[in-house]
Chain A
Amino acid sequence: KQEVTQIPAALSVPEGENLVLNCSFTDSAIYNLQWFRQDPGKGLTSLLLIQSSQREQTSGRLNASLDKSSGRSTLYIAASQPGDSATYLCAAPINYGGSQGNLIFGKGTKLSVKP
């Protein structure tokens, strides 16, 4: 059964710093991994989806990597800004025959970027 873990649970950095958020998963037969951002009380915004055949995906200041052999994905945020403050969640689809795309979420990393 796929399990997804995110460490740390919270992170506080000064503005301008580059940072890395971590996501671990137990089943290396992962189909893809999706990173989301969630602002307090709001829905989820999809940031990046990285397929199992890919090593990296980039969007603006965000870069996601995937290493199936080690069961890890990282989200790199360059030159962080106060507007990046949010909770970041990673999620992987459950792996079994007939899967309908059920996503298994990590508990998230709450990021605070101080001006």
Chain B
Amino acid sequence: DTEVTQTPKHLVMGMTNKKSLKCEQHMGHRAMYWYKQKAKKPPELMFVYSYEKLSINESVPSRFSPECPNSSLLNLHLHALQPEDSALYLCASSQVPGPYEQYFGPGTRLTVT
């Protein structure tokens, strides 16, 4: 099973709200990624977790806070977002950290009002 799941599919939040995005995989993968994709643009890497530890933060604003509670689960906590943060947020995983095949989830469409 090469499935990465993400919830919710859609999220609308105000700039003062706090919400979380969830990503789950049961393939035994030890690297998990968050990407942000704006309309008509390619995905851009935000964070990488390697063996449940944050290994890369691509200068993402602190209003985005990632968390990896266990090897199967990845969260992205959102607080005080701006309208320009509206995008498709994609989660991916690979067997181990490094240049290996990545499997993507369906994404969460986030709208900040």
Contact = CB atoms under 8 A, between A and B. Distances in A.
B48 A101 contact: yes
Contacts of B98: 93, 99-101
A101 B33 contact: yes
Contacts of A41: 88, 107, 109
A39 to B, nearest CB: 10
Contacts of B104: 36, 43-46
Given A43-B90, A44-B43, A101 B109 contact: no
Interface residues of B, number: 29
Contacts of B81: none
Contact of B94 (A43, A44, A91, A101): A101
B45 A103 contact: yes
A93 B107 contact: no
Interface in B82-113: 88, 90, 92, 94, 97-107, 109
A49 interface: yes
Nearest to B33: A101
Contacts of B102: 34, 46, 101, 103
A44 to B, nearest CB: 4
B41 A107 contact: yes
A100 B43 contact: no
Contacts of A108: 42
A31 B7 CA distance: 32
B27 interface: no
Nearest to B97: A100
Contacts of A91: 42
A103 B90 CA distance: 13
A105 interface: yes
Given A32-B99, A43-B105, A99-B98, 13 more contacts: A32-B101, A34-B102, A42-B106, A43-B106, A46-B101, A99-B99, A100-B31, A100-B98, A101-B94, A101-B97, A102-B58, A105-B42, A106-B42
